[in-house]
Structure formats: structure tokens, C-alpha cells
Amino acid sequence: MHRKIKEATADRLRRKRRRDAGMVTSEYAMGIIAAVGFALLLYEVVTSGQVRTELQDIVKKALSARM
């Protein structure tokens, strides 16, 4: 009897895992679109005038620092 219960429980767990095994193609596509949109937004922010100047100042300070 215990064996039947264990087998039934194991079968239910296997079926449950199989149902939600991973993403489907549409989910990958939406993830890629979101990542590209975020990358474009980040690129626009980083290449804006004020941020570009700040980043250049940080790099100049780092390169001119004495060790």
C-alpha cells in the first residue's frame, strides 16, 4: 500500500514538473524584445551629453591617478 502511494505521488510530481518545464518561444521573444528596449534606453542615457561628460571625467580621473 505504501508503495502505491509513493508511486502515485511520484507520478503527480513528474507530471507537474513537465507542465512547467520552461519558456515557450513567445516568452523568449518577449524577453528579447524587453532586453533590446532596455538596452536602447540605457544607450540613450549613457550617450546623452551630461552623462557622457561625467563618464569621461571619471575615466580621466582614474587614468591620471597616482599609484
What's the pLDDT tens digit per position in 33-45? 999 999 999 999 8
The pLDDT value recorded for residue 46 is 85
- SS3 of 22, please? coil
The pLDDT value recorded for residue 17 is 62
Range list of H helices, 1-67: 2-19, 25-46, 49-64
Overall average pLDDT of the 48-54 stretch: 88
Nearest residue to 55 (alpha-carbon basis) of 42, 43, 64, 46: 46
